[in-house]
A and B are shown apart, each in its own frame.
Chain A
Amino acid sequence: MRKRHSGAVWMILPLYIFTIVFVAGPLVYMVALSFATAREGHGVDWIFTLRNYARITDPVYLQTFVESLQLALTSTVFICLMGYPFGYFMARLPEGRKKKAMLFLMLPFWVNSLIRLYGWIIILQNKGLLNNVLKALGIIRKPMKILYSYPAVVVGMVYVLLPFMILSVYSSAEKMDWSLVEAARDLGASRFQAFWTVTFKLTLPGLLSGIILTFIPSMGLFFIADILGGNKIVLVGSIIQEQMTKGSDWPFAAALAVIMMAVTTVMIAFYRKITNARELEGIG
Chain B
Amino acid sequence: MSDICLELRNIRKSFTEGEEVLRGISLAVGRGEFITLLGASGCGKTTTLRIIAGLETPESGQVFLEGKDVTALAPEARDVNTVFQNYALFPHMNVADNIGYGLRLKKVPKPEIRRRVEEMLELVQLPGYGKRKPSELSGGQRQRVAIARSLINNPRVLLLDEPLGALDLQLRRAMQIELKRLQKKLGITFVYITHDQEEAINMSDRIAVMNHGIFEQVGTPNEIYNHPLTSYVATFVGNANILQGRVKELRGSRALVSLCCGDALAETGTDPVKAGEEVLLAVRSEHIHLEQNGHEGLEGTVLEKSFAAGQLRVSIKLSDGKEIVASRYGIDADVQPGEKVRFRFAPEDAVLVDRGQTPEKTAGSSAGEGMPAAEGDYGNGGNGHA
Are the CB atoms of A180 and B88 closer together than 8 Å?
yes
A95 within 8 A of B: no
Which stretch of A103-111, A115-123, A144-152, A185-193 is in the interface?
A: A185-193
Asked if A188 contacts B106 (CB within 8 A), the reply is: yes
Option from A182, A201, A281 in Cβ contact (under 8 Å) with B84: A182
Q: Which of B1-9, B64-72, B75-83 contacts A (4 or more CB under 8 A)?
A: B75-83
Instruction: Given the known inter-chain contacts A182-B75, A201-B92, A283-B92, please indicate yes or no for A187 contacting B81, CB distance below 8 A.
Output: yes
Q: Digitize B76-100: 1 where CB-to-A-CB distance is under 8 Å, 0 elsewhere.
A: 1000111010101111100000000
Within 8 A of B (CB), among A179-210: 179-180, 182-190, 193, 197-198, 201-202
Is the Cβ of A278 less than 8 Å from the Cβ of B92? Answer: yes
Q: Which of the residues A182, A190, A202 comes within 8 Å of B92, measured between beta carbons?
A: A202
Please indicate which of the listed interface residues A182, A185, A186 has the most CB atoms of chain B within 10 Å of its own CB: A186
Q: How far is the CB of A105 from chain B (nearest CB, A)?
A: 27
Contact B84 A183, beta carbon cutoff 8 Å: yes
Contact of A187 among B55, B86, B101 (CB under 8 A): B101
A-side binding surface: helix, strand, loop or mixed? Answer: helix
Evaluate contact between A186 and B53: CB separation under 8 angstroms: yes
B136 touches A187 (CB 8 A): no
A187 touches B91 (CB 8 A): no
Q: When each residue 144-183 of chain A gets 1 if its CB lies under 8 Å from chain B and 0 otherwise, what string results?
A: 0000000000000000000000000000000001011011
Q: Does B153 contact A (CB under 8 A)?
A: yes
Q: Are A281 and B55 in contact (CB under 8 A)?
A: no
In whole angstroms, what is the CA distance A190 to B107 when docked?
Answer: 13
In angstroms, Cα B87 to Cα A177, docked, is: 11
CA separation between A253 and B86, bound complex, in Å? 56
Across the interface, A186 reaches (CB within 8 A) one of B82, B91, B135, B136, namely B82
Question: A282 at interface (Cβ–Cβ under 8 A)?
Answer: yes
Q: Say how far B56's CB is from chain A's closest CB, in angstroms.
A: 10
Given the known interface contacts A281-B133, A282-B134, A282-B136, the answer about A185 and B91 at a Cβ–Cβ threshold of 8 Å is: no
Residues of A within 8 A of B89 (CB): 183
Q: What residues on A are CB-neighbors of B53 within 8 Å?
A: 186
- Total interface residues on B, using CB and 8 Å? 27
- Chain A residues touching B, range: 20 to 34
Task: Give complex CA distance A187, B155 in Å.
Answer: 10
Interface code B94-130, partner A: CB below 8 Å = 1, 0 otherwise? 0000000110011000000000000000000000000
Residue of B nearest to A187 (CB): B102
A179 to B84, Cβ gap below 8 A? yes
B-chain residues with CB within 8 Å of residue A281 when the two chains form the complex: 92, 133
Q: Which residues of A contact B135 (CB under 8 A)?
A: 282, 284
Inside 8 A of A197's CB, which chain B residues have their CB? 90, 101
User: Contact at B76–A190, with CB atoms within 8 Å?
Assistant: yes
CB of B52 to closest CB in A, whole Å: 11
Task: Name the distance in Å between B77's Cβ and chain A's nearest Cβ.
Answer: 8
Q: How distant is the Cα of A185 from the Cα of B55 in the complex, in angstroms?
A: 8
Q: Of all chain A residues, which has the CB nearest B132? A: A282
In the bound complex, do residue B153 and residue A188 qualify as a contact, i.e. CB atoms below 8 Å apart?
yes
> Does A188 lie within 8 Å of B76, measured CB to CB?
yes
For residue B74, CB closer than 8 A to chain A, the reply is yes
Partner of A188, one of B102, B133, B134: B102
**Given A281-B92, A282-B91, A185 contacting B74 (CB threshold 8 A):** yes
B84 lies within 8 A of A187 (CB): no
**Is B88's CB under 8 angstroms from A179's CB?**
yes
Selected contact of A182 from candidates B55, B80, B136, CB within 8 Å? B55
| Cβ–Cβ contact B153 & A187, under 8 A | yes
Given A179-B84, A182-B84, A282-B136, decide whether A187 and B92 contact each other with a Cβ distance below 8 A.
no
Could you tell me if A282 and B105 are in contact, using CB atoms closer than 8 angstroms? Answer: no
Q: B150: CB under 8 A from chain A?
A: yes
For A187, the chain B residues whose CB sits under 8 A away are 76, 81, 101-102, 105, 149-150, 153
The chain B residue sitting closest to A278, CB to CB, is B92
Which of B92, B149, B150: most chain A CB closer than 10 A?
A: B92
Q: Mind listing 11 A-B residue pairs with CB under 8 Å?
A: A179-B86, A183-B84, A185-B76, A187-B76, A187-B81, A187-B149, A197-B101, A202-B92, A282-B91, A282-B134, A283-B91
Given contact pairs A186-B75, A202-B91, a sample of 10 additional A-B residue pairs in the complex whose CB atoms are under 8 Å apart:
A180-B88, A182-B88, A183-B88, A185-B54, A186-B55, A187-B81, A187-B153, A189-B105, A198-B90, A284-B91
Interface residues of A (CB under 8 A from B): 177, 179-180, 182-190, 193, 197-198, 201-202, 278, 281-284
Top 9 closest pairs, chain A to chain B, by CB: A282-B135, A183-B88, A282-B133, A187-B102, A185-B75, A179-B88, A188-B105, A188-B76, A186-B82
Chain B residues at the A interface, C-beta cutoff of 8 Å? 53-55, 74-76, 80-82, 84, 86, 88-92, 101-102, 105-106, 133-136, 149-150, 153
